[in-house]
Amino acid sequence: MRSFQERLPDFNARKIRVIAISVDTPQESQHLRQSAGYTFPILSDSQDNVIGRWDLVHAHGRQDGADISRPAEFLIDSAGIVRWANLTEDLRVRARPEQVLHAFDTATISNR
């Protein structure tokens, strides 16, 4: 997410909102935002509601055995349609902001 923070001006210029989601509580997310300097919102899905509906649950993925979200990135246009998605097969390999910006720039998403 650090790389997305660094490229935030490029997302702002295209009027793309960057939103992160995890099972952390709002307090934990706020702590992360402050310590890491993230200025984009982080949403808290501590009950796995959205992660479950989106089929992104990594069962017992946390070291303490709790269910967490697998890493995944989605680009959603203003009509709510998924225009690009990345479901990594290796949790070390995440989407880079350039990939999302490229997908946006080539998908001719309405920017009016």
Partner 1 sequence: MKRSWNPRTWLGFVLCLAALVSYPTFFARYPITRDFPWATLLLMALALYLVASGALRAFRRPDAYRGKIFGSILGVLSVAIVGLFLFGIFHLTRMLPASHGAPQVGQLAPDFTLPDSQGENVTLSNLLQSPFPTDGAAGAASGKTAAVVLIFYRGYW
Query: Could you say whether residue 54 binds partner 1 (CB under 8 A)?
Result: yes
Query: Could you say whether residue 48 binds partner 1 (CB under 8 A)?
Result: no
State the residue for tokens 């225009």.
Answer: 83
Residue among 37 and 110 whose Cβ is closer to partner 1: 110
Query: Could you say whether residue 106 binds partner 1 (CB under 8 A)?
Result: no
Query: Could you say whether residue 5 binds partner 1 (CB under 8 A)?
Result: no
Residue among 9 and 37 whose Cβ is closer to partner 1: 9
User: Which contacts qualify for 65-72: CB closer than 8 Å, 24 or more apart?
Assistant: 66/23, 67/23, 68/22, 68/23, 69/21, 69/22, 69/23, 69/45
6, 93, 102, 106: which one binds partner 1 (CB under 8 A): 93
82, 102, 106, 108: which one binds partner 1 (CB under 8 A): 82
Q: Is 108 left (phi over 0), alpha (psi -120 to 50) or beta?
A: left
Query: Could you say whether residue 79 binds partner 1 (CB under 8 A)?
Result: yes
Give the Cα-Cα-Cα angle 37, 38, 41 (nearest 5 degrees): 145
